[in-house]
Structure 1
Amino acid sequence: MEIVLAVLKKLNLVPVPLLDGQMQVVKARALMEANRAGVFHAIGDGPEGLTASELASKLEFSEEGMEILLKALVSINYLKVKNGRYTNGRWVKHWILDPKHSLHHMLILQMYTYKRLEGLGDNLRSGRPEMDFHQVDVANPTAAAALQGTYTYGMREAARLIIPDLLKRVDVPAGATRMLDIGGAHGEYCRQFMRKFPGLKATVLDLAGPVATAQKIMDREGNADGLELRVGNCLQDDLGTGWDVILLSNMVHLFDPAQNLGLFQRCKAALKPGGTLLCVDQFVGISGQRDRIFAVVSLNFFNVGGKSYEATQMRQLLSEAGFARVDVKPLGLRTPASLIQAYA
């Protein structure tokens, strides 16, 4: 069906704006609501499945509402149905149920994104962000803490997509012993780097909210790798000195060019001679396919004050910050992110 629809769209024989508007909106909401409600986890990975009535009772839905939702999920290939019993499709089993690959929290995070983008029009007119994702809502600290926790857990899931390819492409100085991860409070990058490069010890610098979530992860899972957590603002607070590696993953798209230049200068001063800065993000100008994705994704980044940066602009900013050599390294097909590595 998807192939037929793609051909019809190519021939301009179907109302494409309606498909891209109404259908995509409802499809996204169906997926996010099912994930938030626990539909996929309730069904599990067994072959027997559950009926709409059983799921409705288990999750406190109306039976009619559950049946309509389940049929929608079947139509978009997230569920299968046989004799009235619903089972999870392979996408769900791999990308939601499997703890190694789960995007459960990322999908919940998209619900916040969905609501935030209601203000995109005002944001585009004014040029000012709709919200500062890292600013605590003092009027509703409980809601702010929940959002921050979801963000940190979601970024941990995103990191797991990126790390395998990143570790294949990264160039870590020989004998490196100290790594600073700015903004990666979940600690996933640091743990994997320390395991890949023996002798390397890592510190995370992040805001208080993410660090509090990271501490909960440590309390639950332990800290066998010896990861250090530090609260701080990378644009203002002391980064220290003598680092062999500094990592900025999914950070630069949050800041404007002047902020990024200042951050790069601070990183340059904090690195040892011969140290390296790793910038992992969704950069434009790497490949045509990536550019098509990020032309849309950049709207989301702009809504919180940043954008997808051109690789050429990144080279220029890093050069202005004092880095003599800058390499651009696309990562694998599983993630459209790329690595820009600068050498002190």
Structure 2
Amino acid sequence: MMAEPSFKVRWIARRNAIFASSRFQYWAARIPFIRSVARTRATQMFDHLVGFSYSQVLRAAVESGLLDLLAKGPVSAGEVAQDIDLSEDAAMRLLKAARALDLAEEAQSDGWMLGQQGAVLQADPGTQAMIRHHRLLYSDLADPIDLLRRNRKEPTALSHYWSYAGALHGAAERGAETQEYSELMAASQRFVADEVIGAFRFPKQGSLLDVGGGHGEFIRRVGAAYPHIRLGLFDLPEVAEAARGPLAQSVGAERLTCHPGNFFENGIPQGYDIVSLIRILHDHDDEPAMALLRNIRASLSPGGRLLIAEPMAGIPGALAMGDAFFGLYLWAMGSGRPRSPDEVARMLRAAGFSRTRVVPTAQPVIASCIVAHA
């Protein structure tokens, strides 16, 4: 015999039946206060419906060189057409689409310049690298049900990219083949680093080890904000070696140690007050993620702390980024999943950490922070 539905189940069913009613929708569209709520909901649904078109306008503006051209403006639609090899009608269509997203602005009759959002984006090569990178995700999501039905170990555009990028991970920037990867990593680390530095107070005279820190953008930015903190980077031998010179020049060789190793196979270097995992944990499935957390816990002395920063699931104001974006991104990548702060806290306790706390960030859509105490 089936259990009686809970109050919440009955309430949701009733609410959904009302919202789906054409009579309710007609009524809601005509009552002043309710009308504004209904209009907001309709706009949200429309944005969901056409969001792919918006993202492709972004991509077109970046990949065509339109943003760089507008930065030299005002330019005419004819000049845009000639520069990016479009008909004048097509150029005008693109300019108007860019204007709708505040990427472009018509400063005078047929004189186009960057809009406010366009000015920000044109000056940020890291974000442009992320926009170019997302073409791989969109390719994998062309048939989302097919993607979800596939074995996660089957190759995808994203998994192929990250497999290839892994081979380049330790390479110094030698040319075009590493350019996008390097810009992508620097941008993602920079965004998260700024959120962490704004939310978490590092010990001024302490020490920080960034595990899986790549080329060191995170500790570079922490080192600039805290000029007396001792810094360590732990990554694969070729990565640590490639990072050593540029990082030493940036933060000072006397306060930097680059440790070569594999965080699944080797012990985490000891003697640091804080160990950080920046956009690392959500890249891994539960079993390897737990192995990594236990490895870090074993390295920390009493009073030591682990700082985790990455986009997380179930965050008010950033729900879509956690599950709707990273949930599918990591599925297509073939490894990892977004976790809620409660899920991460349970894993940390199972790994032997004594207590955890969430550190609020200004932009949780970029990253949330959890600190765990040894």
> 2:137 aligned to 100, 104, 113, which one?
113
Q: Which residue of 1 aligns with 2:16?
A: none
Identity percentage of aligned residues: 22
Query: Is residue 199–residue 362 contact of structure 2 (8 Å, CA) maintained in 1?
Result: no
Establish whether residue 34 from structure 1 lines up as the match of residue 61 from structure 2: yes
SS state at 1:326 partner = strand
The higher radius of gyration belongs to: 2
Structure 2 CA distance for aligned equivalents of residues 210 and 36 of structure 1? 29
Distance 1:337 1:139 in 2: 27
Letter in 1 for 2:369: L
Asked if structure 1 preserves the Cα contact closer than 8 Å seen for 2:268 and 2:295, the reply is yes
Give the whole-Å Cα distance in 2 for the aligned partners of 1:191 and 1:239: 20
Aligned positions of 1:177-192 closer than 5 A:
177=207, 179-192=208-221
Checking the alignment, whether the CA contact within 8 Å between 1:78 and 1:92 is kept in structure 2 is yes
The answer to which structure has the higher helix fraction is 2
Cα distance in 2 for partners of 1:5, 1:136 equals: 49
Number of equivalences = 327
Deviation string 1:300-336 (CA, Å, 9 cap, x unpaired) is 2222222110211111111111111211112103744
Cα shift at 1:103 = 1.8
> What aligned pairs does 1:115-130 form with structure 2 within 5 A after superposition?
115-118=139-142, 120-126=144-150, 128=152, 130=156
Query: What is the CA-CA distance between 1:342 and the residue it aligns to?
Result: 0.9
CA contact (8 A) 2:312 2:322 kept: yes
Q: Pick closer, same or farther for the CA change 1:215–1:27 going to 2, 3 Å.
A: farther
Partner AA of 2:41 in structure 1: K
Task: Report the Cα offset of residue 195 of structure 1.
Answer: 2.7
In structure 2, relative to structure 1, the CA distance for the partners of 1:273 and 1:137 (3 Å cut) is closer
The corresponding residue for 1:225 is 252
Residue 360 (structure 2) aligns with: 330
Question: Unaligned regions of 5+ residues in structure 2, if any?
Answer: 1-34
Tell me the residue number matched to 2:307: 278
SS at match of 2:363: coil
1:290 is aligned to 318
User: What's the counterpart of residue 194 of structure 2?
Assistant: 164
Q: CA RMSD in A?
A: 3.6
SS of the counterpart of 1:243?
Answer: coil
Residues 190-199 or 59-68, more deviating: 59-68
Q: Against the structure 1 CA distance between its residues 211 and 58, is the aligned structure 2 distance closer, same or farther, given a 3 Å change threshold?
A: farther
State the 1:207 CA deviation: 5.0
Aligned to 2:123: 97
Quote how far apart the aligned CAs of 1:255 are: 0.7
2:73 is the counterpart of 1:73: no
**Structure 1 214/39 Cα, relative in aligned 2: closer, same or farther at 3 Å?**
farther
> In the alignment, residue 296 of structure 1 is paired with which amino acid?
A
2:276 is aligned with 1:252: no
Q: 2:48 aligns with which of 20, 27, 39?
A: 20
Task: For 2:44 and 2:355, locate their aligned partners in 1 and report how far apart those are by CA, in whole Å.
Answer: 49
How does the TM-score come out when normalised to structure 1?
0.80
User: Match of 2:292?
Assistant: 263
Instruction: Please state if 1:153 is matched with 2:183.
Output: yes
* TM-score (normalised: structure 2): 0.74
Report if the CA contact (8 A) 1:245-1:276 is conserved: yes
1:88 aligned residue = 114
Contact 2:234 2:259 in 1 (8 A): yes
State the distance in 2 between where 1:36 and 1:105 align: 10
Which residue, out of 10, 29, 41, partners 1:10? 41
- Alpha carbons of structure 1 residues 334 and 315: separation in structure 2 relative to 1, 3 Å: closer
- C-alpha spacing 1:80/1:251, structure 2 compared with 1 (3 Å): same
Partner residue in 2 for 1:136: 164
The equivalent position to 2:74 in structure 1, one of 40, 49, 69, is 49
2-structure distance, mates of 1:164, 1:109: 22
Q: How many angstroms does 1:180 deviate by?
A: 2.1
Q: 1:173 to 1:114 in 2, by over 3 A?
A: same
